[in-house]
Chain A
Amino acid sequence: MRDRIQEALKRSQADYTEIRIEEKETTRVVFRGKELETAGANIDKGGIVRCLIKDKGWGVATFNNLDDLLTKVDQAYQCAQVGSVPEPIELASVEPVEQVMTVEMGRDFRDISLAEKKALAERYNQILLGHSDKIIDTQAAYSDTFSRIILANSEGAYIEQEKPSVVIGAFAVARDGDNVQQAHESLSSIQGYEYVLDKDELARKAAQKAVELLTAKPVKAGQYPVVVDQMLAGVFIHEAFGHLSEADFVYENPKAREMMTMGRRFGKGLLNVFDDGSLPNLRGTTLYDDEGTPARRNWLIRDGELVGRLHSRQTAAKMGEKASGNARAINYRFAPIVRMTNTGIDNGDTSFEDMIKDIELGIYACDAYGGQTQLENFSFSSGYAYMIRDGKIAEMVKDVILSGNLFTTLENIDAIGNDFKWLNTGGGCGKGSQFPLPVGMGAPHIRIQNVVIGGE
């Protein structure tokens, strides 16, 4: 394969040519209610050629048949030729790397039988179904993926990476008359099958929360001090801030570029936010991004100031900055675009007890249940929440929707916890049509003053 790739790269007349080949095997077992929806394995193998003609643009060819790489290079080149751009496209320089890496899992899921994987999903499903007669619908899913990726370009880069992933998810719907509530838990690992074993607690928690929400009262709308758990904080910083740090969003949108000026205040001095694909064993971990740039720690907010962004080689060159290792594609069918890897709010020094002890009336919001952002305005649903009364966690409340302006909200963060945690959930990030891209999210508890909570 390597020889054929080099031959194809040599043949290309483009200013820059890149070939990425991917071979992926996926096993999925999904139970829905009492039925098995699916249990089986799929194979997906294919490649992508990208050709850049600087004063015309990019041409892309993707394919399943790896036999005629030369024709694919021609096709991509022809696509680039019909383009036209207002100014020549440059790519930030990156030292071409030659590396072949393999992974070693603890228990390699490729050696585990489908029977065993089915039994695992079934076990978690039984826990969901059996938790309470109020549970009316469930989903328990197991999936594993093993990808081998080869990336090579006309600058001499040649990188082989192996990427394993295993995920379990438990979802429960509880009903009491017309009142229907749901809860969801998931766990992922890139280290081995053993990480999704013995996770009965995960299924139990999903079922339990769904049932508890049936008797939770809807929260009273208003402004409150809110303590946000690690899950909600991690999702919040990813959705409400992380995407704004992706340079391709910024340079195409004049309003966004204005908003994301370096040095601008984004919260008090205690706030630090980063994206780091080089940390080991997290969902968004990668040695190199899909252009061959090494992943690394990118500080985005330092001491409350905007200090960095996330780039592909093209956005970096366009904005006069360095490539940051954030060009990622979900699979071989797509060209890489700027994506996050593992994003987090850095650890602080306030304990959870200290965070809540002075709150007379507030809310402890947990888990994230989806949200929407439009530039600097956001709206998030928390999965479940509790009132804080006189410094203590009190009754559960539901339908807690946090909304507001990003800047105001970040400025109102007045305490950062000392209990940082990576979330290790399954699922992924969506952008354009590339969903779900595995990403890592982490944070400690954080306290935000004056949050507008929608509700009854």
Chain B
Amino acid sequence: MDILTQLKKEAEQVEVLSLQNEKTTVEYEANQLKTCAVAETKGTAVRVIRNGQLGFSASTDETVINKLAANALESAAYGDKAPFSFPDPKPGPAVRTFDKAVADLPIARLVEMGKEILDLVLRVEPDARCNIGLERSIVTASIRNQKGLDVSFQTSPLSLGLEIDRIEGDDVLILYDQFGATVWDNDYLDFARNLVEKLKKARTITSIQPGKMPVLFAPTGTLALGLPLSQGLNGKEVYKGTSPIKDKIGEKLFDEKITIIDDGTIDGKFASASYDDEGVPRRRNVLVEKGVLKGFVYDLKTAAQSGVESTGNASRGLFNPPEPSFTNFVIQPGQTPLKDILSGIDEGIIVEDLLGIGQGNIISGAFSNPLALAFKIEKGEIVGRVKDLSIAGNIYDLLKNVAAVSKEAQWVYNTFYAPYILIPEMNVAGKG
């Protein structure tokens, strides 16, 4: 008997997630092909609410469905009271997340794409050591619950990651970027080309006097600003009381040039889908509009705990119950062309990458990181790479006064869309 039917007899609410994933991976290490692998995962995760108490269990063993059901019921017997109900069926937006062209890529083609990336880099930098990961998954998920909700969707995420290590004497340079999409993109090599451009620019080394100066965050560097913010905007942190902005809906917290959107409906993007991992339709959530805090991201449980509606942000792996999470994190591009931003800077730095983004107490908004890749801007020109610098700050202070947000923006790290952001003054620490 189907587990949903079986458990409906025993519990007043039941939700069943069936997840199937075939993941093909090709890895190059130190310029050599290292592994080719295919991983197939198939499993079921169940949540039940029985006598008002919430239980969870998951299994990848199809032959013991009865045991899965028993584990879920037992978990509920000792679970906390569930503050929410599983959702009614509601139609979600049409979102493109599957492309046969991606799903049908044979492993030999992935190997070939890896070689294309390798050749691209070694042509410019023959002494570089590249680690390349190419990963194509075909994911089928179905979510059903006792209210008749029955949604299923397929995604074909393709992820390409490139790490370039260049060691020249004492100078160690490690660059990384990735490209992710669920729909085939003929420009899949662009991210590698951009990384190689950075590598070329990094050949010229110069120095800058530490101190107060304008700091321009490039899209890859903007993650240092976005990551603490994504935690502060998370409904779970708001409910726990750990978000510094938990009581500030409606307040102007940031410069009016800052608009932040969580958008799970963008075609072809990695974190997009018609529904979240509880079957709630995904949407475009405007969280910060012209500097004013509008809302947070929630799943069913945290929404109920906070007295609001789910924003369609439930996310989970097979063996864990859902938690709220950002889908595609978008910092809206601004009005100013990058060249105008640069020409307005007499002396400053542009930050491409920081070491250890995410480490430390970032829920408070504070970050402190050495700069892994930064360049000096002198009279509007990028004149060379600067080393041994670090910056620190709190985003809740820094983003109050933003000098410019560029028109140009990029997708970085698969689910992050960011422009260039100019902070008029920060203290840059380091050796002179």
What residues of chain A have their CB less than 8 Å away from a CB belonging to chain B? 23, 29, 35-36, 38-46, 57-65, 75-76, 78-80, 82-86, 114-115, 118, 252, 333, 335
Check A39–B29 contact: CB distance below 8 A. no
Task: List the 7 closest A-B pairs by CB distance, nearest first.
Answer: A40-B75, A60-B37, A79-B36, A43-B59, A45-B61, A62-B39, A63-B40
Instruction: Annotate B87-130 by CB proximity to A: 1 below 8 A, 0 otherwise.
Output: 00000000000000000000110010000000000000000000
Check A335–B35 contact: CB distance below 8 A. yes
* Nearest-CB residue, chain A, relative to B74: A114
Chain B contacts with A in 158-213, Cβ cutoff 8 A: none
Cβ 8 A contact of B38, one of A41, A61, A115: A61
Question: Beyond A42-B58, A44-B60, A114-B77, is A82–B36 a contact (Cβ under 8 Å)?
Answer: yes
Per the CB 8 Å criterion, the residue count for chain B at the interface is: 39
Give the most central of A79, A86, A252: most B CB within 10 Å.
A79
Check A84–B33 contact: CB distance below 8 A. yes
Docked complex Cα distance between A47 and B64 (Å)? 17
What residues of chain B have their CB less than 8 Å away from a CB belonging to chain A? 26, 29-30, 32-43, 55-62, 64, 67-68, 71-72, 74-75, 77-80, 107-108, 111, 319, 321
Give the most central of B64, B68, B71, B75: most A CB within 10 Å.
B75
Cβ 8 A contact of B72, one of A35, A40, A86, A252: A40
Check A65–B35 contact: CB distance below 8 A. no
* Nearest-CB residue, chain A, relative to B41: A64
Docked complex Cα distance between A327 and B29 (Å)? 19
Shortest CB distance A35–B (Å): 6
Check B75–A114 contact: CB distance below 8 A. yes
Check B57–A41 contact: CB distance below 8 A. yes
* Nearest-CB residue, chain B, relative to A254: B167
Check A57–B33 contact: CB distance below 8 A. yes
Chain A contacts for B43, CB-based, 8 A? 64
The 17 listed contacts between A and B (C-beta, < 8 Å) are: A39-B79, A40-B56, A40-B57, A40-B78, A41-B71, A42-B59, A43-B58, A45-B60, A45-B61, A46-B41, A60-B36, A62-B38, A65-B40, A82-B108, A115-B78, A335-B35, A335-B37
Check A23–B75 contact: CB distance below 8 A. no
Check A333–B29 contact: CB distance below 8 A. no
* Nearest-CB residue, chain A, relative to B58: A42
Check A60–B71 contact: CB distance below 8 A. no
Docked complex Cα distance between A84 and B28 (Å)? 11
Identify 8 new A-B residue pairs, CB closer than 8 A, beyond the known A39-B78, A40-B57. Answer: A40-B71, A40-B78, A43-B58, A43-B68, A43-B71, A65-B42, A83-B36, A333-B41
Docked complex Cα distance between A36 and B53 (Å)? 11
Check B78–A57 contact: CB distance below 8 A. no
Check B111–A44 contact: CB distance below 8 A. no
Docked complex Cα distance between A64 and B226 (Å)? 37
Docked complex Cα distance between A84 and B57 (Å)? 42
Question: Beyond A83-B33, A252-B29, is A35–B80 a contact (Cβ under 8 Å)?
Answer: yes
Shortest CB distance A372–B (Å): 9
Docked complex Cα distance between A114 and B77 (Å)? 9
Shortest CB distance B65–A (Å): 10
Check B40–A64 contact: CB distance below 8 A. yes
Check B62–A86 contact: CB distance below 8 A. no
Check B37–A252 contact: CB distance below 8 A. no
Check B75–A41 contact: CB distance below 8 A. yes
Shortest CB distance B98–A (Å): 22
* Nearest-CB residue, chain A, relative to B80: A36
Docked complex Cα distance between A84 and B107 (Å)? 14
Question: Beyond A36-B80, A65-B62, is A42–B57 a contact (Cβ under 8 Å)?
Answer: yes
Check A43–B78 contact: CB distance below 8 A. no
Chain A contacts for B37, CB-based, 8 A? 59-62, 79, 335
Chain B contacts for A23, CB-based, 8 A? 61
Chain B contacts for A46, CB-based, 8 A? 41, 60
Shortest CB distance A249–B (Å): 12
Chain B contacts for A61, CB-based, 8 A? 37-40
Check B111–A82 contact: CB distance below 8 A. yes
Docked complex Cα distance between A95 and B39 (Å)? 30
Check B32–A86 contact: CB distance below 8 A. yes
Chain A contacts for B62, CB-based, 8 A? 64-65
Chain B contacts for A80, CB-based, 8 A? 36
